[in-house]
Amino acid sequence: MKSKILGSLLFWIVVAILLGIVCSLFFPEWLARVFVTFNGLFANFIGFFVPVLIFALIAPAIAGLGKGAGKWLGVTAGIAYASTLVSGLIAWGTASVLYPTLLGNRTLNTDVADPEAGGLAPYFEVEMAAPLAVMSALLLAFVIGIAMTSVKSTTLYRVLDELQSVIMKVVTSFVIPLLPIYIFGTFLNLGMNDNLGSTMAAFGTVLVLSVVMTIVIILLLYVVAGVVAGRNPLTALGNMLPAYFTALGTSSSAATIPVTYASALKNKVDENVAGFVIPLGATIHLSGSMMKITLYALAIVYMGQMDIAPAQILGFLLLLGIMMVAAPGVPGGAIMAAVGLLQANLGFDESAVSLMIAAYIVVDSFGTAANVTGDGAIALIVNRFAAGRIEGYMLDEEHELADAPSDGGRATLK
Protein backbone atom coordinates (compact mmCIF):
# COMPACT_ATOMS: atom_id res chain seq x y z
CA MET A 1 0.00 0.00 0.00
CA LYS A 2 2.81 2.41 0.90
CA SER A 3 4.65 1.83 -2.38
CA LYS A 4 1.39 2.29 -4.31
CA ILE A 5 0.80 5.66 -2.65
CA LEU A 6 4.39 6.78 -3.22
CA GLY A 7 4.07 5.77 -6.88
CA SER A 8 0.93 7.84 -7.39
CA LEU A 9 1.27 11.05 -9.37
CA LEU A 10 -1.69 12.49 -7.48
CA PHE A 11 0.19 12.00 -4.20
CA TRP A 12 3.22 13.91 -5.46
CA ILE A 13 1.05 16.65 -6.97
CA VAL A 14 -0.62 17.18 -3.58
CA VAL A 15 2.78 17.15 -1.87
CA ALA A 16 4.10 19.67 -4.41
CA ILE A 17 1.16 22.02 -3.82
CA LEU A 18 1.47 21.82 -0.02
CA LEU A 19 5.26 22.23 -0.09
CA GLY A 20 4.95 25.17 -2.47
CA ILE A 21 2.54 26.88 -0.08
CA VAL A 22 4.65 26.16 3.01
CA CYS A 23 8.00 27.04 1.43
CA SER A 24 6.63 30.34 0.15
CA LEU A 25 6.44 31.44 3.79
CA PHE A 26 10.19 31.28 4.42
CA PHE A 27 12.16 30.68 1.18
CA PRO A 28 14.67 33.44 0.39
CA GLU A 29 14.09 35.12 -2.95
CA TRP A 30 17.36 33.87 -4.47
CA LEU A 31 16.37 30.24 -3.85
CA ALA A 32 12.80 30.71 -5.08
CA ARG A 33 14.15 32.18 -8.33
CA VAL A 34 15.93 28.86 -8.99
CA PHE A 35 12.54 27.16 -9.24
CA VAL A 36 11.09 30.05 -11.24
CA THR A 37 13.95 29.59 -13.70
CA PHE A 38 13.22 25.86 -13.91
CA ASN A 39 9.54 26.61 -14.54
CA GLY A 40 10.42 28.90 -17.42
CA LEU A 41 12.65 26.27 -19.03
CA PHE A 42 10.14 23.47 -18.50
CA ALA A 43 7.27 25.56 -19.87
CA ASN A 44 9.29 26.37 -22.98
CA PHE A 45 10.03 22.67 -23.45
CA ILE A 46 6.32 21.86 -23.15
CA GLY A 47 5.58 24.44 -25.83
CA PHE A 48 8.20 22.79 -28.06
CA PHE A 49 7.04 19.26 -27.30
CA VAL A 50 3.23 19.53 -27.47
CA PRO A 51 2.91 19.71 -31.30
CA VAL A 52 5.11 16.62 -31.62
CA LEU A 53 3.05 14.87 -28.94
CA ILE A 54 -0.19 15.68 -30.78
CA PHE A 55 1.04 14.34 -34.11
CA ALA A 56 2.65 11.22 -32.66
CA LEU A 57 -0.48 10.20 -30.75
CA ILE A 58 -3.35 11.28 -33.02
CA ALA A 59 -2.06 10.03 -36.39
CA PRO A 60 -1.71 6.33 -35.45
CA ALA A 61 -4.89 6.52 -33.35
CA ILE A 62 -6.97 7.66 -36.34
CA ALA A 63 -5.28 5.14 -38.63
CA GLY A 64 -6.09 2.36 -36.15
CA LEU A 65 -9.68 3.47 -35.53
CA GLY A 66 -10.44 3.38 -39.23
CA LYS A 67 -9.94 -0.36 -39.63
CA GLY A 68 -12.76 -2.85 -39.89
CA ALA A 69 -15.59 -1.17 -38.02
CA GLY A 70 -17.40 0.29 -41.05
CA LYS A 71 -20.27 2.65 -40.48
CA TRP A 72 -20.56 1.74 -36.79
CA LEU A 73 -17.19 3.35 -36.19
CA GLY A 74 -18.59 6.59 -37.54
CA VAL A 75 -21.81 6.25 -35.56
CA THR A 76 -20.03 5.49 -32.29
CA ALA A 77 -17.40 8.18 -32.82
CA GLY A 78 -20.15 10.69 -33.66
CA ILE A 79 -22.11 9.89 -30.50
CA ALA A 80 -18.95 10.03 -28.37
CA TYR A 81 -17.93 13.38 -29.86
CA ALA A 82 -21.44 14.80 -29.46
CA SER A 83 -21.48 13.71 -25.81
CA THR A 84 -18.09 15.29 -25.18
CA LEU A 85 -19.05 18.52 -26.95
CA VAL A 86 -22.42 18.80 -25.16
CA SER A 87 -20.57 18.35 -21.86
CA GLY A 88 -18.36 21.30 -22.77
CA LEU A 89 -21.35 23.43 -23.76
CA ILE A 90 -23.09 22.61 -20.47
CA ALA A 91 -19.90 23.55 -18.59
CA TRP A 92 -19.75 26.84 -20.52
CA GLY A 93 -23.39 27.60 -19.71
CA THR A 94 -22.89 26.65 -16.06
CA ALA A 95 -19.83 28.88 -15.76
CA SER A 96 -21.63 31.80 -17.41
CA VAL A 97 -24.54 31.54 -14.97
CA LEU A 98 -22.78 30.61 -11.72
CA TYR A 99 -19.30 32.17 -11.81
CA PRO A 100 -20.45 35.77 -11.24
CA THR A 101 -22.01 34.54 -7.96
CA LEU A 102 -19.60 31.77 -6.93
CA LEU A 103 -16.40 33.63 -7.71
CA GLY A 104 -17.77 37.08 -6.93
CA ASN A 105 -15.16 39.79 -7.25
CA ARG A 106 -12.20 37.44 -6.95
CA THR A 107 -9.41 38.20 -9.38
CA LEU A 108 -6.51 36.08 -10.55
CA ASN A 109 -3.26 37.47 -11.87
CA THR A 110 -2.39 34.77 -14.36
CA ASP A 111 0.86 36.47 -15.35
CA VAL A 112 2.53 35.75 -12.01
CA ALA A 113 5.90 35.25 -13.65
CA ASP A 114 6.00 38.96 -14.52
CA PRO A 115 8.17 40.77 -11.93
CA GLU A 116 6.17 43.97 -12.43
CA ALA A 117 3.06 42.08 -11.35
CA GLY A 118 4.72 40.95 -8.13
CA GLY A 119 6.16 37.67 -9.34
CA LEU A 120 9.79 36.57 -9.32
CA ALA A 121 12.07 36.83 -12.35
CA PRO A 122 14.03 33.80 -13.60
CA TYR A 123 17.81 33.98 -13.65
CA PHE A 124 17.85 33.26 -17.39
CA GLU A 125 15.61 32.05 -20.21
CA VAL A 126 16.13 29.72 -23.18
CA GLU A 127 13.84 30.00 -26.19
CA MET A 128 12.68 26.65 -27.61
CA ALA A 129 10.87 27.12 -30.89
CA ALA A 130 8.32 24.42 -31.70
CA PRO A 131 8.98 22.43 -34.92
CA LEU A 132 5.43 23.28 -36.10
CA ALA A 133 2.33 25.02 -34.83
CA VAL A 134 -0.31 23.17 -32.79
CA MET A 135 -2.96 23.40 -35.50
CA SER A 136 -0.45 22.32 -38.13
CA ALA A 137 0.35 19.23 -36.06
CA LEU A 138 -3.35 18.45 -35.64
CA LEU A 139 -4.15 18.86 -39.34
CA LEU A 140 -1.11 16.85 -40.41
CA ALA A 141 -2.08 14.04 -38.02
CA PHE A 142 -5.62 13.97 -39.42
CA VAL A 143 -4.53 14.04 -43.05
CA ILE A 144 -2.02 11.22 -42.61
CA GLY A 145 -4.22 9.19 -40.24
CA ILE A 146 -7.29 9.33 -42.48
CA ALA A 147 -5.26 8.59 -45.61
CA MET A 148 -3.73 5.54 -43.92
CA THR A 149 -7.20 4.03 -43.44
CA SER A 150 -7.36 3.69 -47.24
CA VAL A 151 -3.72 3.12 -48.10
CA LYS A 152 -2.54 -0.11 -46.51
CA SER A 153 0.93 1.05 -45.56
CA THR A 154 2.21 -1.40 -42.99
CA THR A 155 5.63 0.25 -42.98
CA LEU A 156 4.29 3.74 -42.32
CA TYR A 157 1.96 2.46 -39.62
CA ARG A 158 4.89 0.72 -37.93
CA VAL A 159 6.92 3.95 -38.09
CA LEU A 160 4.10 5.97 -36.52
CA ASP A 161 3.50 3.28 -33.92
CA GLU A 162 7.17 3.32 -32.93
CA LEU A 163 7.19 7.13 -32.91
CA GLN A 164 4.22 7.00 -30.54
CA SER A 165 6.17 4.66 -28.25
CA VAL A 166 9.17 6.99 -28.26
CA ILE A 167 7.04 10.05 -27.46
CA MET A 168 5.23 8.12 -24.71
CA LYS A 169 8.63 7.27 -23.25
CA VAL A 170 9.49 10.97 -23.11
CA VAL A 171 6.15 11.70 -21.43
CA THR A 172 6.40 8.95 -18.82
CA SER A 173 10.14 9.22 -18.11
CA PHE A 174 10.70 12.97 -18.38
CA VAL A 175 7.58 15.16 -18.49
CA ILE A 176 5.44 13.44 -15.85
CA PRO A 177 8.25 13.00 -13.25
CA LEU A 178 9.08 16.72 -13.51
CA LEU A 179 5.48 17.90 -13.20
CA PRO A 180 5.53 17.98 -9.37
CA ILE A 181 8.62 20.23 -9.43
CA TYR A 182 6.92 22.46 -12.00
CA ILE A 183 3.77 22.73 -9.90
CA PHE A 184 5.85 23.29 -6.74
CA GLY A 185 7.54 26.23 -8.43
CA THR A 186 4.20 27.66 -9.51
CA PHE A 187 2.69 27.58 -6.03
CA LEU A 188 5.94 28.80 -4.50
CA ASN A 189 5.84 31.80 -6.83
CA LEU A 190 2.15 32.35 -6.18
CA GLY A 191 2.68 32.22 -2.42
CA MET A 192 5.52 34.73 -2.54
CA ASN A 193 3.38 36.87 -4.80
CA ASP A 194 0.59 37.05 -2.17
CA ASN A 195 -1.80 35.64 -4.77
CA LEU A 196 -2.25 32.09 -3.45
CA GLY A 197 -5.04 32.52 -0.89
CA SER A 198 -7.65 33.90 -3.27
CA THR A 199 -6.59 31.49 -6.02
CA MET A 200 -7.00 28.37 -3.89
CA ALA A 201 -10.24 29.65 -2.39
CA ALA A 202 -11.65 30.17 -5.86
CA PHE A 203 -10.41 26.85 -7.19
CA GLY A 204 -11.79 25.07 -4.14
CA THR A 205 -15.23 26.28 -5.17
CA VAL A 206 -14.68 25.27 -8.79
CA LEU A 207 -13.34 21.87 -7.70
CA VAL A 208 -16.58 21.06 -5.88
CA LEU A 209 -18.60 22.37 -8.82
CA SER A 210 -16.64 20.20 -11.28
CA VAL A 211 -17.26 17.03 -9.24
CA VAL A 212 -20.99 17.81 -9.04
CA MET A 213 -21.19 18.54 -12.76
CA THR A 214 -19.47 15.27 -13.73
CA ILE A 215 -22.28 13.49 -11.88
CA VAL A 216 -24.86 15.67 -13.65
CA ILE A 217 -23.45 14.79 -17.09
CA ILE A 218 -23.58 11.08 -16.22
CA LEU A 219 -27.25 11.38 -15.23
CA LEU A 220 -28.08 13.23 -18.44
CA LEU A 221 -26.32 10.59 -20.54
CA TYR A 222 -28.31 7.80 -18.93
CA VAL A 223 -31.60 9.65 -19.31
CA VAL A 224 -30.91 9.94 -23.05
CA ALA A 225 -29.68 6.33 -23.25
CA GLY A 226 -32.73 5.13 -21.33
CA VAL A 227 -35.10 6.90 -23.72
CA VAL A 228 -33.32 5.61 -26.85
CA ALA A 229 -32.78 2.05 -25.60
CA GLY A 230 -36.06 1.77 -23.70
CA ARG A 231 -34.33 1.02 -20.41
CA ASN A 232 -34.77 2.36 -16.88
CA PRO A 233 -31.94 4.95 -16.58
CA LEU A 234 -31.44 4.41 -12.85
CA THR A 235 -31.26 0.63 -13.24
CA ALA A 236 -28.80 0.94 -16.10
CA LEU A 237 -26.69 3.43 -14.13
CA GLY A 238 -26.79 1.16 -11.08
CA ASN A 239 -25.33 -1.68 -13.14
CA MET A 240 -22.44 0.60 -14.14
CA LEU A 241 -21.46 1.59 -10.59
CA PRO A 242 -18.65 -1.02 -10.38
CA ALA A 243 -17.03 0.64 -13.40
CA TYR A 244 -17.49 4.10 -11.87
CA PHE A 245 -15.79 3.20 -8.59
CA THR A 246 -13.06 1.20 -10.32
CA ALA A 247 -12.22 4.25 -12.43
CA LEU A 248 -12.42 6.45 -9.34
CA GLY A 249 -9.73 4.30 -7.74
CA THR A 250 -7.50 3.78 -10.78
CA SER A 251 -7.89 7.12 -12.63
CA SER A 252 -7.64 4.99 -15.76
CA SER A 253 -10.22 4.35 -18.48
CA ALA A 254 -8.00 1.67 -19.97
CA ALA A 255 -7.50 -0.20 -16.70
CA THR A 256 -11.25 -0.11 -16.13
CA ILE A 257 -12.20 -1.60 -19.53
CA PRO A 258 -12.78 -5.17 -18.26
CA VAL A 259 -15.09 -3.89 -15.50
CA THR A 260 -16.86 -1.48 -17.86
CA TYR A 261 -17.36 -4.32 -20.35
CA ALA A 262 -18.82 -6.65 -17.71
CA SER A 263 -21.10 -3.86 -16.44
CA ALA A 264 -22.35 -3.17 -19.95
CA LEU A 265 -23.24 -6.84 -20.34
CA LYS A 266 -25.38 -6.56 -17.20
CA ASN A 267 -27.37 -3.95 -19.09
CA LYS A 268 -28.03 -6.61 -21.76
CA VAL A 269 -25.78 -4.99 -24.32
CA ASP A 270 -24.81 -7.43 -27.10
CA GLU A 271 -21.37 -8.92 -26.43
CA ASN A 272 -19.99 -7.86 -29.81
CA VAL A 273 -21.36 -4.33 -29.41
CA ALA A 274 -19.90 -4.03 -25.91
CA GLY A 275 -16.57 -5.44 -27.08
CA PHE A 276 -16.44 -2.82 -29.82
CA VAL A 277 -17.86 0.27 -28.09
CA ILE A 278 -16.23 0.01 -24.65
CA PRO A 279 -12.56 -0.05 -25.77
CA LEU A 280 -13.29 2.57 -28.44
CA GLY A 281 -15.06 4.79 -25.90
CA ALA A 282 -12.06 4.54 -23.57
CA THR A 283 -10.10 6.33 -26.29
CA ILE A 284 -12.50 8.87 -27.77
CA HIS A 285 -15.25 9.57 -25.20
CA LEU A 286 -14.10 12.15 -22.66
CA SER A 287 -17.19 14.02 -21.47
CA GLY A 288 -15.99 14.07 -17.85
CA SER A 289 -12.58 15.40 -18.82
CA MET A 290 -14.21 18.03 -21.06
CA MET A 291 -16.41 19.16 -18.16
CA LYS A 292 -13.48 19.65 -15.78
CA ILE A 293 -11.12 21.31 -18.24
CA THR A 294 -13.79 23.75 -19.42
CA LEU A 295 -14.87 24.72 -15.90
CA TYR A 296 -11.30 25.32 -14.76
CA ALA A 297 -10.28 27.14 -17.93
CA LEU A 298 -13.27 29.47 -17.74
CA ALA A 299 -12.58 30.07 -14.03
CA ILE A 300 -9.10 31.32 -14.96
CA VAL A 301 -10.58 33.40 -17.79
CA TYR A 302 -13.12 34.92 -15.37
CA MET A 303 -10.74 35.59 -12.48
CA GLY A 304 -7.98 36.76 -14.77
CA GLN A 305 -10.42 39.17 -16.44
CA MET A 306 -9.24 37.90 -19.80
CA ASP A 307 -10.98 39.28 -22.86
CA ILE A 308 -12.05 36.07 -24.59
CA ALA A 309 -14.76 36.23 -27.27
CA PRO A 310 -17.57 33.61 -27.32
CA ALA A 311 -16.35 32.45 -30.74
CA GLN A 312 -12.93 31.66 -29.22
CA ILE A 313 -14.52 29.59 -26.45
CA LEU A 314 -16.70 27.70 -28.94
CA GLY A 315 -13.68 27.02 -31.14
CA PHE A 316 -11.78 25.82 -28.08
CA LEU A 317 -14.57 23.36 -27.20
CA LEU A 318 -14.92 22.05 -30.77
CA LEU A 319 -11.19 21.39 -31.04
CA LEU A 320 -10.75 20.11 -27.47
CA GLY A 321 -13.19 17.26 -28.13
CA ILE A 322 -10.88 16.15 -30.93
CA MET A 323 -7.58 17.01 -29.28
CA MET A 324 -8.22 14.86 -26.22
CA VAL A 325 -8.23 11.75 -28.43
CA ALA A 326 -4.49 12.30 -28.17
CA ALA A 327 -4.58 12.03 -24.38
CA PRO A 328 -1.63 9.78 -23.49
CA GLY A 329 -2.05 6.76 -21.24
CA VAL A 330 -0.71 8.58 -18.19
CA PRO A 331 -2.42 10.38 -15.29
CA GLY A 332 -3.61 13.80 -16.37
CA GLY A 333 -3.17 12.91 -20.04
CA ALA A 334 -6.21 14.88 -21.21
CA ILE A 335 -4.95 18.15 -19.77
CA MET A 336 -1.50 17.57 -21.26
CA ALA A 337 -3.09 17.11 -24.68
CA ALA A 338 -5.12 20.30 -24.14
CA VAL A 339 -2.12 22.49 -23.27
CA GLY A 340 -1.62 23.62 -26.87
CA LEU A 341 -5.24 24.73 -27.22
CA LEU A 342 -5.21 26.54 -23.90
CA GLN A 343 -2.26 28.55 -25.13
CA ALA A 344 -3.34 29.03 -28.76
CA ASN A 345 -7.10 29.60 -28.36
CA LEU A 346 -7.42 31.11 -24.88
CA GLY A 347 -4.05 32.81 -24.59
CA PHE A 348 -2.97 31.02 -21.40
CA ASP A 349 0.59 31.67 -20.26
CA GLU A 350 2.85 29.17 -18.49
CA SER A 351 1.52 30.07 -15.03
CA ALA A 352 -2.12 29.61 -16.06
CA VAL A 353 -1.28 26.29 -17.72
CA SER A 354 0.50 25.11 -14.59
CA LEU A 355 -2.54 26.00 -12.48
CA MET A 356 -4.75 24.08 -14.92
CA ILE A 357 -2.54 20.98 -14.69
CA ALA A 358 -2.48 21.08 -10.88
CA ALA A 359 -6.22 21.64 -10.57
CA TYR A 360 -7.06 18.99 -13.15
CA ILE A 361 -4.92 16.23 -11.68
CA VAL A 362 -6.31 16.77 -8.17
CA VAL A 363 -9.76 15.69 -9.41
CA ASP A 364 -8.59 13.51 -12.32
CA SER A 365 -10.34 10.36 -11.10
CA PHE A 366 -13.81 11.97 -11.08
CA GLY A 367 -13.51 12.91 -14.73
CA THR A 368 -12.23 9.44 -15.60
CA ALA A 369 -15.12 7.85 -13.72
CA ALA A 370 -17.56 10.01 -15.70
CA ASN A 371 -15.84 9.05 -18.96
CA VAL A 372 -16.06 5.29 -18.45
CA THR A 373 -19.56 5.35 -16.97
CA GLY A 374 -20.65 7.37 -19.99
CA ASP A 375 -19.16 4.66 -22.21
CA GLY A 376 -21.84 2.34 -20.84
CA ALA A 377 -24.56 4.81 -21.91
CA ILE A 378 -23.09 5.04 -25.40
CA ALA A 379 -23.00 1.24 -25.57
CA LEU A 380 -26.73 1.17 -24.76
CA ILE A 381 -27.48 3.66 -27.54
CA VAL A 382 -25.38 1.86 -30.15
CA ASN A 383 -26.81 -1.48 -29.06
CA ARG A 384 -30.33 -0.21 -29.85
CA PHE A 385 -29.40 -0.08 -33.54
CA ALA A 386 -26.36 -2.34 -33.96
CA ALA A 387 -27.16 -5.45 -31.89
CA GLY A 388 -26.45 -8.46 -34.11
CA ARG A 389 -24.84 -6.31 -36.81
CA ILE A 390 -21.32 -5.99 -35.39
CA GLU A 391 -19.24 -9.12 -35.58
CA GLY A 392 -15.73 -10.02 -34.57
CA TYR A 393 -15.18 -7.40 -31.88
CA MET A 394 -15.34 -9.58 -28.82
CA LEU A 395 -13.03 -8.24 -26.14
CA ASP A 396 -10.15 -10.60 -25.56
CA GLU A 397 -10.68 -11.96 -22.05
CA GLU A 398 -6.96 -12.54 -21.65
CA HIS A 399 -6.10 -8.97 -22.64
CA GLU A 400 -4.95 -7.45 -19.37
CA LEU A 401 -5.05 -3.70 -18.94
CA ALA A 402 -4.72 -3.50 -15.18
CA ASP A 403 -1.34 -1.80 -15.39
CA ALA A 404 -2.45 0.84 -17.91
CA PRO A 405 -1.89 4.08 -16.02
CA SER A 406 -4.55 6.55 -17.12
CA ASP A 407 -7.17 8.08 -19.32
CA GLY A 408 -6.74 7.74 -23.03
CA GLY A 409 -4.82 4.41 -22.99
CA ARG A 410 -5.15 2.67 -26.31
CA ALA A 411 -7.34 -0.42 -26.07
CA THR A 412 -6.90 -3.39 -28.35
CA LEU A 413 -9.88 -4.48 -30.44
CA LYS A 414 -10.24 -8.11 -31.35
Three state DSSP letters for 166-230: HHHHHHHHHHHHHHHHHHHHHHHHHHHCCCHHHHHHHHHHHHHHHHHHHHHHHHHHHHHHHHHHC
Residue 42: what pLDDT? Answer: 86
pLDDT digits (tens, 9 = 90+) for 52-86: 877 887 677 667 655 444 567 778 888 999 999 99
Give how far the C-alpha of residue 275 lies from the chain's centroid of Cα atoms, to the nearest Å.
Answer: 23
Q: Which of 171, 154, 180, 173 is nearest to 52 (CA)?
A: 171
Residue 8: what pLDDT? Answer: 61
Helix (H, G, I), strand (E, B) or coil at 253: helix
Helix (H, G, I), strand (E, B) or coil at 55: helix
- How far, in Å, are 73, 331, 362, 397 from residue 185 at the CA level? 44, 20, 17, 44
Query: For 1-386, CATH number?
Result: 1.10.3860
Residue 4: what pLDDT? Answer: 61
Residue 95: what pLDDT? Answer: 92
| Model-wide pTM > 0.75 | no
Residue 16: what pLDDT? Answer: 83
Residue 222: what pLDDT? Answer: 95
* pLDDT < 70 stretches in the chain: 1-10, 58, 61-62, 64-71, 106-119, 134-135, 194-202, 249-252, 254-255, 325-333, 362, 387-414
- How far, in Å, are 196, 247, 365, 377 from residue 287 at the CA level? 30, 14, 13, 12
Q: How far apart are CA 376 and CA 370, in angstroms?
A: 10
